[in-house]
Copies of this chain bind each other. A is one copy, B any other.
Amino acid sequence: MEIGRVVGTVVSTIKSPGLNSFKLLVVTPIAVTQEMTSPDDTATYVAVDLVGAGEGEIVLVTRGSAARIPDAADVPTDAAIIAVVDNVQIGSENAYSKA
């Protein structure tokens, strides 16, 4: 799974019915190192939100068929936000703690 930061939203009216009940959030990948930086914001992507994440939050994202487990079996998504991150520990360093 990847760690990312929610940076925006996508809105569509013409879409596959399976997407209707989900917010589409724009996520920028965060490198899971002590610095927790965004190495490449052109790698930003769109994920369905399964846990009510807010803008700017650090989240855990699963990709591929896992993105439809277990509540989104008929949703055509290949990326899902499955957790809001409270804390990332790298060795003895606290790389991130939710404010």
Contact of A70 among B3, B18, B63 (CB under 8 A): B18
Bound together, the chains give a CA A45 to CA B62 distance in angstroms of 11
Given contacts A24-B60, A66-B68, A70-B76, contact A90 B14 (CB under 8 A): no
Contact A44 B32 (CB under 8 A): yes
Q: Tell me how many residues of A have a C-beta within 8 Å of chain B.
A: 60
- Determine the chain B residues whose CB is within 8 A of the CB of A16 once the complex forms: 50-51, 70-71, 82-83
CB-contacts of A1-57 with B (<8 A): 1-3, 7-16, 18-19, 24, 26, 31-33, 39, 41-42, 44-47, 50-52, 55
Question: Which residues on A are within 8 Å of B, measured CB to CB?
Answer: 1-3, 7-16, 18-19, 24, 26, 31-33, 39, 41-42, 44-47, 50-52, 55, 60, 62-71, 74-80, 82-91, 95
